[in-house]
Structure 1
Amino acid sequence: MHKNKILQYFYIFRFKLFKTSTKMSEGALKEKELGNAAYKKKDFDNAILHYSKAIELDPTNLIFHTNLAAVYFEMKKYDESIEECKKAVDVGREQRADFKLIAKAYNRMGTAHRKKGELELAKTAYEKALTEHRTPDYRQNLSEVESAIKKAAEEAYINPEIAEQEKQKGNDCFKKGEFADAVKFYSEAVKRNPRDAKIYSNRAACYTKLTAFDLALKDCDKSIELDPSFVKAYLRKGNALKVMGQTQKAMDVYEKAMEIDPNNAEAKQGYKDCAVKQYSTGGGSSDPEEVRKRAMNDPEVQAIMADPAMRMILEQMQSDPQAVSEHLKNPEIMRKIMKLKDSGLISMQYR
């Protein structure tokens, strides 16, 4: 109880000091208002004159310094703005000013440093603002400058020549079957050159070998994002999906690879392997008539079934199931057959 009483007296004492320290003289208040009016009109020279006069009349009030700092900031005189913020903090400390006002000075100081590109100094100022008074805006400012510092560090680390050296080390490890070590080198190469699609694709191959399929797919997607025409990334994504047992998704990826490079043997073989697996596992529906009706509403299915050549092929496949293997050598016929299979219209197995 005694302790609480002491704290109560302390806060009352501090409040009285604060009221005294922030009370403006009539002349200083008038100059401040004239400075505010000039500031709103962007008449910065007169704003400086009035705020400076207010400081002369009342050197104990930090608000005049923070206002003056705001003028210099708008004039892009960031050094002068920072100096006024420092003076505001010093005056505020001497006069035991409200911590919110000191926090505002630190925040403004941080923004001026940020404009100058002095990110570390900006970070320090924002941190000090938060120690005085925590607000979402101050927290956001700190978060943004921390992100900018991280990005700057990453950009400074980029070196394509070193990236190529690290990639080669990864290639050497991959050839030896040392996949975990290869991942380390490829990861360093990515940091050194995050815009090289081939590095992500190479690392994806390692992840597949290590059965880290989620990471492999993520790297394949990044590689494709960086270079949508890079066939190798599609092939490695298809291979990962095939190993994962996601046959249809793998076929879709192999098909995309064949669109980019129609003569790619690996894409054709991957697609064929998946197609054979699809047929060997069979299919069907508990309600064939319903499936058939739904499928025939698909314009693409209608076109396939209306094609005389495709009808002949389907009839041949019914009388000679072994003919499936021969027809799958043609990517376009394979695609149409798989479309019918996916729609539920056909369900065939090798015997």
Structure 2
Amino acid sequence: MFLDLSDEAMDTEPSYSPPPKKPDPKPEPKKEPEPELPENKKLAKQEKEQGNAFYKKKDFPNAITHYQKAIEHDPTDITFYNNLAAVYFEQKEYEKCIKECERAIDIGRENRADFKLIAKSFMRIGNAYRKMKDYKSAKIYYEKSMSEHRTPEVKTLLSEVEKIIKDEEEKSYINPELSEKEKEIGNEFFKKGDYATAVKHYTEAIKRNPSDAKLYSNRAACYTKLAAFDLGLKDCDKCVELDPKFIKGWIRKGHILQGMQQHSKAISAFQKALELDPNNAEALAGYRACALENNMDGDPEKIRQRAMADPEVQSILRDPAMRMILEQMQNDPRALQDHLKNPDIAAKIQKLLESGLIAIR
């Protein structure tokens, strides 16, 4: 018999393959049954839950009763002591709260309690001391809590009490009489040209009386002599913040900014001084000098073009009243003092000075 084994004679129908069987689902691991609690622990847990229910209702006497019964059934569980301490805290019985937390810590240590629970006990002691305004003790216990378990809550509490402690120490250090003595010593060293030593005494004077604006002005003068302009400027800012009407503070600020080549800002400082005293010769001289320097910083034509491109400058120059004032100032420079008394006009003049469009000779 002849067998045709060519491809054409072969059966080209695909053979059937049964789909692969899905693997049998893995049986879920059997949950181990929770170990049966001893009878005393069961009773303690029941008492704790009842205590929690009364605590939520703010029925603190009944909460205390049930927490104490829980402790009687199982004196080894730190949680019961912590809960009892929480009740005393709510009742403002802070000494009792502290005592109970200390018991909780001892019991917790003995029975290898979770460090988070021990940290909670330390935190609650800290809270109790804080309520009693014993901030240094509160700080100690917040730090102990952090050593057991660091949390953002305790970190914030620690930062707050540290700030309170610092503020209290600064307040207790204030003594205006000693401040005045330190200022006088600083003045003597300033006159001798020993500015570094003068700074030390002015700094001590400030610590003794931080609300005296003049002390910052004095120290700023020393920093200026020492070419520490940034520190001097900081003191001037504090000076005029404490006493906005202290002319010397504004003038000193103007001179420091002038030394830092910040002419526009210096003009603002001198202007503040002139608003307080339009006839102050030092402020007026500083104002004019800065305005002149500000205008000499670049090419006059470029300065003019840049200024005229500013919409605010354009608005000022379109104002007929301002044009009259500028003409008057050109004919009579002394008129500037009168115009600077008006804050709105002074602000516009300052803008023109800063732009370099006008100058005061």
TM-score > 0.5, shorter chain as reference? yes
Alignment partner of 2:187 out of 159, 162, 171: 171
Q: Which runs of 5+ in 2 are unaligned?
A: 1-34, 341-345
Pair 66,197 (structure 1): closer, same or farther in 2 beyond 3 Å: same
The answer to whether structure 1 residue 33 and structure 2 residue 49 are counterparts is yes
Deviation at 1:296, TM superposition (A): 7.3
Contact persistence 2:313–2:351 (CA under 8 A): no
Equivalent position amino acid for 2:285 in 1: Q
Deviation at 1:41, TM superposition (A): 1.0
Alignment partner of 1:330 out of 319, 327, 336: 336
The answer to whether structure 1 residue 214 and structure 2 residue 230 are counterparts is yes
Give the Cα–Cα distance (whole angstroms) in 2 for the partners of residues 313 and 138 of structure 1. 64
Deviation at 1:122, TM superposition (A): 1.4
2:215 alignment counterpart? 199
1:244 alignment counterpart? 260
Judge which range, 302-311 or 87-96, deviates more: 302-311
Contact persistence 1:251–1:275 (CA under 8 A): yes
User: Please, what is the CA RMSD of the aligned residues?
Assistant: 2.9
Contact persistence 1:283–1:347 (CA under 8 A): no
2:18 alignment counterpart? none
Contact persistence 2:236–2:249 (CA under 8 A): yes
Deviation at 1:134, TM superposition (A): 1.7
The answer to whether structure 1 residue 263 and structure 2 residue 269 are counterparts is no
Equivalent position amino acid for 2:109 in 1: R
Pair 131,250 (structure 1): closer, same or farther in 2 beyond 3 Å: same
2:315 alignment counterpart? 299
Give the Cα–Cα distance (whole angstroms) in 1 for the partners of residues 209 and 253 of structure 2. 21
Contact persistence 1:180–1:206 (CA under 8 A): yes
Pair 178,27 (structure 1): closer, same or farther in 2 beyond 3 Å: same
SS in 1 for 2:326: helix
Contact persistence 1:160–1:192 (CA under 8 A): yes
Pair 239,329 (structure 1): closer, same or farther in 2 beyond 3 Å: farther
Give the Cα–Cα distance (whole angstroms) in 1 for the partners of residues 104 and 158 of structure 2. 21
Pair 90,224 (structure 1): closer, same or farther in 2 beyond 3 Å: same
Alignment partner of 1:154 out of 166, 170, 179: 170
**Residue deviations 1:229-248, cap 9 Å, x none?**
11111011011111222222
Percent of pairs identical after alignment?
Answer: 50
SS in 2 for 1:59: coil
Contact persistence 2:43–2:73 (CA under 8 A): yes
1:112 alignment counterpart? 128
Q: TM-score, normalised by structure 2?
A: 0.80
Give the Cα–Cα distance (whole angstroms) in 1 for the partners of residues 72 and 233 of structure 2. 67
Give the Cα–Cα distance (whole angstroms) in 2 for the partners of residues 124 and 284 of structure 1. 66
Give the Cα–Cα distance (whole angstroms) in 1 for the partners of residues 63 and 203 of structure 2. 55
Pair 339,109 (structure 1): closer, same or farther in 2 beyond 3 Å: closer
Contact persistence 1:103–1:130 (CA under 8 A): yes
Size of the aligned set, in residue pairs, is 321
Equivalent position amino acid for 2:265 in 1: K
Judge which range, 288-297 or 203-212, deviates more: 288-297
Give the Cα–Cα distance (whole angstroms) in 2 for the partners of residues 97 and 76 of structure 1. 27
**Residue deviations 1:192-235, cap 9 Å, x none?**
11111111111011101111000000000011111111111101
Which aligned pairs between 1:103-142 and structure 2 lie closer than 5 A?
103-142=119-158
Give the Cα–Cα distance (whole angstroms) in 1 for the partners of residues 81 and 135 of structure 2. 23
SS in 1 for 2:244: coil
Q: Greater share of helix residues, 1 or 2?
A: 1
Give the Cα–Cα distance (whole angstroms) in 2 for the partners of residues 95 and 241 of structure 1. 67
Which aligned pairs between 1:4-153 and structure 2 lie closer than 5 A?
25-153=41-169
Contact persistence 1:48–1:68 (CA under 8 A): yes
Equivalent position amino acid for 1:192 in 2: R
Deviation at 1:184, TM superposition (A): 0.2
Give the Cα–Cα distance (whole angstroms) in 1 for the partners of residues 148 and 176 of structure 2. 44
Pair 272,21 (structure 1): closer, same or farther in 2 beyond 3 Å: farther
Deviation at 1:82, TM superposition (A): 0.3
Higher alpha-carbon Rg: 2
**Residue deviations 1:313-341, cap 9 Å, x none?**
64x6xxxxxxxxx7268335686766444
Give the Cα–Cα distance (whole angstroms) in 2 for the partners of residues 69 and 147 of structure 1. 27
Q: Which runs of 5+ in 1 are unaligned?
A: 1-18, 317-325
SS in 1 for 2:319: helix
Pair 242,57 (structure 1): closer, same or farther in 2 beyond 3 Å: same
SS in 2 for 1:216: helix
**Residue deviations 1:171-193, cap 9 Å, x none?**
11112211111100010011111
**Residue deviations 1:89-117, cap 9 Å, x none?**
01101111111111111111111111111
Deviation at 1:73, TM superposition (A): 0.6
